């Protein structure tokens, strides 16, 4: 990502705005994918704990971890503009099915 930022700076300084926009879109995609990967990780962790709860193996640690996962999912999923989400409501089903 550091190289992409350096390239972006050079594109702007050299007034190659089309190249600069392409790099911005690339960086945005990388950032979005990082967020989605983190969300998927928390979803899987939460599903494992829920499975353990259903199998009567719930401990205080697992209950706290489920709560922590939900908090992190909400926090990470909210975009910087605080009005939209990386993973939309209609996309959660697919992520949960993949996690299971």
User: What are the residue ranges spanned by the domains of the chain?
Assistant: 2-99
CB 53 within 8 A of CB 62: yes
Quick one: tokens of 43?
Answer: 């979803």
Beta strands in the chain (DSSP E): none
As beta bridge partners, residue 78 has: 85
**Phi and psi angles of residue 84, each rounded to the nearest 5 degrees, phi first:** -135, 170
pLDDT-derived band at 3 (thresholds 50, 70, 90) equals confident
pLDDT-derived band at 58 (thresholds 50, 70, 90) equals low
pTM to 2 decimal places: 0.53
């Amino acid at each position: 990502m550091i190289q992409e930022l350096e390239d972006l700076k050079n594109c702007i300084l050299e007034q190659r705005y089309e190249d600069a926009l392409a790099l911005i879109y690339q960086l945005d995609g990388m950032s979005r994918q990082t967020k989605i990967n983190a969300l998927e990780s928390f979803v899987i962790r939460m599903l494992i704990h829920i499975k353990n709860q259903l199998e009567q193996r719930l401990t205080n640690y697992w209950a706290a971890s489920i709560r922590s996962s939900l908090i992190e999912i909400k926090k990470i999923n909210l975009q910087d503009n605080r009005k939209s989400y990386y993973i939309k409501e209609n996309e959660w089903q697919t992520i949960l099915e993949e996690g299971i």
